[in-house]
Amino acid sequence: MTINPLDGLRNMLLLDRTNDLNEPNVLYPFALDEILCRQTGRGGPAICHLWRHPNAFVLGLRDSRLPQVADAWAWLEDQGRSTAVRNTGGAAVPLDLGVINISLILPKTAETERHFHNDFEQMYALIREALQATGSLVEKGEIQGAFCPGDFDLSIDGRKFCGIAQRRQSHAYIVQAFVIAEGSGQARTQLTRGFYDRATAFGDPAQLDFPLVEASSTASLQELTSIGADASRVFTDAVKQVIRSLQTKEGMQMASSTLSLPSPDVVHAMAKTLSERYGIH
């Protein structure tokens, strides 16, 4: 029997923060995910968290170990970017209002423990379904030359528009995706290449672990599909529609009864903890 990956996303609560742009610290949504994931592991609801940041650059853990990363970090901050190291897998990613971030926060089960790649399949299925109306074929598999490369790069016509990473806790997990909806994919690759050029300066490339970013590897949904100029909103609405199609009245009543959103102060405290644990010092 074929299992539909979307079945595991039934009765998720939606938390849409794509228009909540007043928080300057890009670690805030990651800290919120961390707290909500702990709640989900204690019996709280599954959550689909959607968010954006106007001007940020998020590093992976391996990027934080590059020899001249402090200089590259300062270069980004001089541009007014909120810069952080995230506690999920993957490598550096630039964020702006044209990038939609999706976090699927789900409880662990015996099945997900045995087949953790299914977690990535769930995100792939969600994004593929959300883009069905465009008529575009969404493929998975590493795209050479893309930033934040991985086995679950999502692409159209050989150009990456989405990367997926994962964070696992004791009793729940988070699958995170960045989706380049609007604007220039090439401009974002050039920014990321600039970061790596500075972070690896004077080092031996053969001895360093970083992606060789190429301008032609990446594009936005606006560039790749018929989604249109308002791609961020259209894509976000499509994701929400897929999630809502999997909700039931009874399931939503139960999920809502177990939800407890943390206060901003609590989230800021977690963001500080993450910064102290993973940041560049």
As a whole number of angstroms, the distance between CA 110 and CA 235 comes to 32
Ramachandran angles phi, psi of 263, nearest 5°: -75, 155
* C-alpha 193: how far from chain center: 19
Kindly tell me the burial class for residue 170, based on how many C-beta atoms sit within 10 Å of its own C-beta (0-12, 13-18, 19 or more): exposed
Clarify whether 148 is annotated catalytic. Answer: yes
Ramachandran angles phi, psi of 262, nearest 5°: -70, 155
| Structure-block tokens of residue 95 | 């964020």
Burial track 257-272 (b if 16+ CB lie within 10 A, e otherwise): eeeeebeeeebbebbe
| Structure-block tokens of residue 68 | 């001249």
Encoded amino acid at 136, one letter: S
3-state secondary structure of 232: helix
The angle subtended at Cα 221 by Cα 218 and Cα 222, nearest 5°, is 110
- Dmax (CA) for the chain in angstroms is 60
**Among the options 37, 48, 148, 162, which is catalytic?**
148
Q: Among all residues, which ones are annotated catalytic?
A: 148
